[in-house]
């Protein structure tokens, strides 16, 4: 059984994962509305991935015989200016999420909850990819400039 503090913080992280999905769904919508279908595809796939992350946390809480505490999901930013802006905001967001995951790991250590600490290691590894992928795309966008954005858009349309 999870301690009250662990349960509250895992529930909060689950809600933040849902928020992340909401954030990326908005980005997908922006990209689609500006003719960047590949970008829209990439962010739509990211939306699904974040919702799956929330489900992983929910399953862990349920596996421990408990229920998550659902909260309201904040409205995400909706003002974007370009494909580059989308990926700058994505990278900043994922760095913030990495900090949240690391704080959860520290809490599990403080609470001497090795099972939860081990569970969270998957998220620690996942966050490496969640930061490196948009960082790489952002570098490509910066190098390509406006002239190369359509090529990057085409590449992003391949994400499943």
CATH of the domain at 33: 1.20.1260.10
- Residue 99: the pLDDT is 98
Domain presence at residue 90: yes
- Residue 146: the pLDDT is 82
CB 124 within 8 A of CB 30: no
CB 30 within 8 A of CB 80: yes
Residue in 75, 73, 72, 90 with CA at minimum distance from that of residue 28:
90
User: What value, to the nearest 5°, has the Cα angle with vertex 149 and ends 49 and 134?
Assistant: 30
pLDDT tens, residue by residue, 74-95: 999 999 999 999 999 999 999 9
Domain presence at residue 32: yes
pLDDT tens, residue by residue, 37-67: 999 999 999 999 999 999 999 999 999 999 9
Domain presence at residue 27: yes
Structural domain for 49, as ranges: 4-70+80-156
Mean pLDDT of the chain: 97
Structural domain tally of the chain?
A: 1
CB 111 within 8 A of CB 6: yes
Domain presence at residue 75: no
pLDDT exceeds cutoff 90 at 15: yes
Domain presence at residue 124: yes
Look up the pTM and report it.
0.95
The CA radius of gyration of the chain, in Å to the nearest whole number, is 17
């Amino acid at each position: 059984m999870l301690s009250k503090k662990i349960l509250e913080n895992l529930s909060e992280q689950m809600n933040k994962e849902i928020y992340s999905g909401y954030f990326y769904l908005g980005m997908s919508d922006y990209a689609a509305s500006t003719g960047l279908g590949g970008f829209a595809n990439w962010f739509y796939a990211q939306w699904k991935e974040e919702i799956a992350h929330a489900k992983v946390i929910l399953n862990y809480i349920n596996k421990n015989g408990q229920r998550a505490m659902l909260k309201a999901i904040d409205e995400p930013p909706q003002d974007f200016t370009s494909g580059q802006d989308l990926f700058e905001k994505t990278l900043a967001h994922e760095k913030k999420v990495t900090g949240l995951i690391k704080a959860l790991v520290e809490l599990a250590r403080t609470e001497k909850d090795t099972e939860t600490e081990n569970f969270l290691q998957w998220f620690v590894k996942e966050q490496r990819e969640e930061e490196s992928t948009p960082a790489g795309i952002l570098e490509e966008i910066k190098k390509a400039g406006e002239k190369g954005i359509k090529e990057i858009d085409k590449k992003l349309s391949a994400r499943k």
